[in-house]
Amino acid sequence: MQDSAEPQPNNHREEKRRRILRAAIDEFARKGYFSARMSDVAKAASVADGTLYLYFEGKEHLLVSVFDDVLSRAIDRARVEIAGVASPLERLRIVIRLHLETLAGDRALAQVMQIETRHSQRFMNLLTRGRLGEYFELLRSLIAEGQQHGEIRRDVSPGFATNIVFGAVDEIVNSWLLAGAPGDLTRFHEPLMSLLATGMVEGRA
């Protein structure tokens, strides 16, 4: 039974918000962002249509919120796992592993994050000003620290290197999504890190 669109205590509100976000991921992955309707998300989340608008201004805000929620939890988890790890390069390795593990375990989420969030330049600008920008800064800071420690080459800017790292991970996930028999996404982690760490030239350390 669907509920009424009335404010709830904080714990109930948070549980309901997460249920709506999960329903949005599944509906956007199944129907595509443009075809999915807010009423579809409400039905999948077992809430009244009006309830969605207590949490989200509209479908675009809902999609941005999905992206920011996923990245918020990913960044928090990454910071916990890299705490106490001395090597910046090893910390970068952990962050990339977590990135791949998160999407490998939820193909619908990967579909939304990789495809449905790319529908306009304006939308990507919104994402970059949100938690995506924080994620980029985490990568950039690890690369800059790796350069200071002599683990990462210094003849490229941290910003450029960040784009290379994120772009490589991004393309691997895209190819995995498009593959007919994709297999385990995380199997690309070690080859990718080896290539990023040592480059493509034979015999170069």
Per residue in 31-55, pLDDT (tens digit) is 999 999 999 999 999 999 899 999 9
User: Residue ranges of the alpha helices (H) in 32-130?
Assistant: 38-45, 49-55, 59-82, 88-104, 107-114, 121-129
Mean pLDDT of 111-123: 83
Write down the residue that tokens 């619908």 correspond to: 108
Give pTM, 2 decimals: 0.86
Using alpha carbons, select from 17, 15, 16, 37 the residue that is nearest to residue 27.
Answer: 37
Mean pLDDT of 149-162: 94
Provide the b/e sequence for 163-198 (b: ≥16 CB within 10 Å): eebbebbeebbeebbeeeeeeebeebbeebbeebee
* pLDDT at 128 exceeding the cut of 80: no
Write down the residue that tokens 């309830």 correspond to: 51
User: Cα angle at 140 between 97 and 22, to 5 degrees?
Assistant: 50
Q: Are 95 and 177 in contact (CB under 8 A)?
A: no
